Amino acid sequence: MNTPQIQEDEQTHIDAFNSRISAGQTIEPKDWMPQKYRKQLLRMMSQHAHSEVVGMLPEGNWLTRAPSLMRKAVLLAKIQDEAGHGLYIYSGAETLGTDRAEMIDQLLTGKAKYASIFNYPTLNWADMGAVGWLVDGAAIVNQTALAKCSYGPYSRAMIRICKEENFHSKQGYQIMAHMMRGTKEQQEMAQDAVNRFWWPVLMMFGPSDSDSPNSDDLMKWKVKLYSNDDLRQRFIDRTVPQAEAIGIKIPDDKLKWNPTTRHYEFGEINFDELKSVITGNGPCNKLRMKQRNDAHKNGAWVREAAVAYAEKKAKA
């Protein structure tokens, strides 16, 4: 029943919430928040956590074939960090009232999404460089912005995660730089990796601002502080000089420095491709979902054993 008193209370909450946001204060788990804010954050945080976990797969694909013991250790440590990020963000998302098992169920049944980039295959060792440098590089641009977002647990998680992502991006760039100084075959592998990953990485920032349905509310609530296009531009501007420094060619004929705007101009992004990948029709969507589902299914008896044992001990 929507009595005038309830409406009035509701309005008081909304006013308090809005004034916190405008004052730049964070919203904490026990604070009142609009249903839509809660829902949007849960969507973003669970997608983010799923991305960390699904993102382990394309890199894990090269772990057993890493070409030196140092590279193997670094890659394993990096993927382990991603698993840690997943765990951390799932915990953060749980503060919004949904538990991890439910979020994972949404991933496994295809209801929840994860970053489109992980639906592309890793086909040569240089892909480990490209993923670290470009994918984690793009993630840093996104996450540095999220570190200032209004939801406290998410913002704090991002601060910590960005530190690790910076290391990931540097190790990726170091792999690329090393390969570009190496044999002709290594240089070809490095260029091949960038040729395949460049455009899908640009798509990671999402659709163009004119076509981003969730953006308005998110910006009003300071969940999102910059638009998709702004962040994409920021990524391009910082990455192109890095590519030039090691002799990698960015696969975009229209890429050009504009001295007036002080930004790079770039070619047209194929957003139809992004749409297909997001809706389940990318090169590895089916594989990634099968890998996650298999791991979950094969691990069921282990989880059941742990619960059964804990229950026996609790009774004893």
Partner 1 sequence: METNIALYKYCVRIADTSLILAQRMCEWCGHGPVLEEDIAMSNMGLDLIGQSRGFYSYAAKLEGKGRTEDDIAYFRNEREFLNRCLVEQPNTDFAYTMMRSFLHGCLAYLQFRTLVKSKDETIAGLSEKALKEMTYHVRHASEWIVRMGDGTDVSHEKVKEALGNLWQFTDELFEMDEVDQTLIKSGIACDLSLLRAEWDQMVNEVLAKAKLERPAAGGYQSKGGFNGTHTEHLGHLLSEMQYLPRAYPDAIW
The residues of the shown chain that bind partner 1, judged by CB under 8 A, are 53, 56-57, 60, 63-73, 76-77, 79-80, 83-84, 86-87, 90, 125, 175, 178-179, 182-183, 185-186, 291, 294-295, 298-306, 308-309, 312
Nearer to partner 1, 258 or 298 (CB): 298
Nearer to partner 1, 16 or 295 (CB): 295
Nearer to partner 1, 78 or 232 (CB): 78
Q: Least Å distance between CB 135 and partner 1?
A: 16
Nearer to partner 1, 56 or 274 (CB): 56
Q: Least Å distance between CB 181 and partner 1?
A: 9
Q: Least Å distance between CB 78 and partner 1?
A: 10
- Long-range (24+ apart) CB contacts under 8 A made by 66-72 are 66/125, 66/128, 67/125, 71/128, 71/175
Nearer to partner 1, 16 or 310 (CB): 310
Q: Least Å distance between CB 120 and partner 1?
A: 16
Name the token pair of 297: 């299914």
Nearer to partner 1, 60 or 152 (CB): 60
Q: Least Å distance between CB 108 and partner 1?
A: 13
Q: Least Å distance between CB 188 and partner 1?
A: 11
Nearer to partner 1, 71 or 222 (CB): 71
Q: Least Å distance between CB 63 and partner 1?
A: 4
Neighbouring C-beta atoms of residue 155, cutoff 10 Å: 18
What's the chain look like in SS3? CCCHHHHHHHHHHHHHHHHHHHCCCCECCCCCCCHHHHHHHHHHHHHHHHHHHHCHHHHHHHHCCCCCHHHHHHHHHHHHHHHHHHHHHHHHHHCCCCCHHHHHHHHHCCCCCCCHHHHCCCCCCHHHHHHHHHHHHHHHHHHHHHCCCCEHHHHHHHHHHHHHHHHHHHHHHHHHHHHHCCCHHHHHHHHHHHHHHHHHHHHCCCCCHHHCCCHHHHHHCCCCCCCHHHHHHHHHHHHHHHHHHHCCCCCCCCCEEECCCCEEECCCCCHHHHHHHHCCCCCCHHHHHHHHHHHHHHCHHHHHHHHHHHHHHHHC
Q: Least Å distance between CB 189 and partner 1?
A: 9
Nearer to partner 1, 76 or 255 (CB): 76
